[in-house]
């Protein structure tokens, strides 16, 4: 089929781009009615992202950059793996797994060093991941309740709470309530471990067994900084050695529930705004 004589390739491309782009914006903001408004954070973001017929090239470019790069839609479902992927299911695979992600503030990141990021997880032993399990299947309502608890416990004045990581490993063992043997959290003092573990127990509504159940291992090797770790010359260029469990302040960023590798994780709350979450935090 031949194109009409008055066919305008640019207008066709522009209209096709607008249609496909807005379709993805609408799907990402499916929890927002209409085309967005100024009633809240997500409605406002949707309004700012959607392309309008009256937009000039500069506005279209800004909307594209906001949605794909700033909010992070282009980074969805790439080679990012939440948890570990195995061909065989672990013994607790039938229970959903809650992850809390902490990271260093960008302003505190040393030059030429990677941003420090830690995750802590526990199993939701009161629920099964799917219907037909020993426990009732977790529902959206259950996850929203957990998300609101996390919002209360891990946010302060609309910012994630902080703790100090360091060279000590602190473990809290309570397998029946979702904390299996062998899990640990890097901290600079036992007080930080008590703070995080007790809040996690409160968030998933299980009893906290007490400070005596937290075992802190203090290794002989102290934390190292960029200066004390030294440098190594590779291919004629000096590079920083890896620091050993450096001391740093980490801030809560987001929480998500993983169902293994069967479906993508469900984000409960995300202060980075990169993922659509069940509850707003602003």
Please tell me whether residues 161 and 231 are part of one structural domain: yes
97, 122 in Cβ contact below 8 A? Answer: yes
Q: Annotate 168-187 with DSSP letters as a single string.
A: EEEEE-BGGGTB-TT--EEE
Do 213 and 172 meet the contact criterion of CB atoms below 8 Å apart? Answer: yes
Q: Dmax of the chain from CA atoms?
A: 81
Give the model confidence (pLDDT) of 56-108 as tens digits: 888 988 998 888 888 877 665 444 444 545 454 445 668 999 999 999 998 88
The residue from 45, 75, 105 where one domain ends is: 75
In whole angstroms, what is the distance from residue 180 CA to residue 175 CA?
Answer: 4
Q: Identify whether residues 171 and 215 lie together within a single domain.
A: yes
| Structural domain containing residue 124 | 97-270
Q: Is residue 88 part of a domain?
A: no
Give the chain's domain count: 2
- For residues 159 and 265, state if they share a domain: yes
- 231-234 and 117-123 strand pairing: unpaired
CA–CA separation, 108 vs 116, rounded Å? Answer: 10
Does residue 118 sit within a domain? yes
pLDDT score, position 91: 53
Quick check: is 82 in a domain?
A: no
Do 46 and 137 have their domain in common?
Answer: no
pLDDT, one tens digit per residue, over 169-205 is 999 999 999 998 878 999 999 999 999 999 999 999 9
Q: For residue range 201-241, list pLDDT tens digits in order.
A: 999 999 999 888 899 999 988 898 887 888 899 998 888 88
Residue 60 and residue 104 share a domain = no
The sign of the CA dihedral 87, 91, 94, 95 is negative
């Amino acid at each position: 089929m031949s194109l009409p004589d008055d066919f305008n390739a640019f207008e066709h491309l522009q209209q096709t781009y607008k249609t496909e782009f807005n379709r993805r914006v609408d799907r990402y903001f499916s929890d927002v009615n209409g085309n967005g408004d100024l009633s809240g954070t997500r409605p406002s973001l949707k309004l700012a992202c959607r392309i309008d017929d009256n937009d000039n090239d500069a506005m279209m470019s800004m909307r594209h950059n906001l949605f794909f790069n700033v909010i992070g839609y282009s980074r969805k479902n790439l080679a990012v793996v939440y948890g570990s992927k195995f061909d065989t299911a672990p013994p607790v695979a039938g229970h959903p797994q809650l992850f809390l992600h902490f990271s260093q503030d960008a302003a505190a990141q040393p030059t030429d060093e990677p941003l420090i990021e830690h995750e802590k997880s526990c199993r939701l032993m009161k629920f099964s991941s799917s219907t037909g399990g020993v426990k009732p299947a977790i529902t959206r309502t259950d996850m929203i309740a957990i998300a609101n608890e996390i919002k209360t416990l891990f946010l302060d004045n609309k910012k994630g709470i902080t703790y100090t990581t360091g060279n000590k490993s602190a473990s809290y063992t309570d397998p029946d309530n979702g904390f299996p043997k062998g899990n640990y959290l890097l901290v600079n003092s036992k007080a930080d471990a008590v703070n995080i573990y007790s809040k996690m127990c409160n968030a998933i509504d299980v009893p906290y067994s007490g400070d005596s159940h937290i075992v802190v291992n203090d290794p002989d090797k102290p934390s190292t900084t960029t200066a004390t770790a030294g440098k190594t010359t590779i291919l004629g260029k000096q590079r920083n050695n890896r620091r050993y469990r450096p001391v740093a302040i980490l801030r809560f960023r987001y929480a998500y529930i993983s169902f293994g590798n069967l479906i993508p994780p469900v984000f409960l709350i995300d202060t980075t705004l990169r993922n659509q979450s069940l509850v707003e935090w602003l």
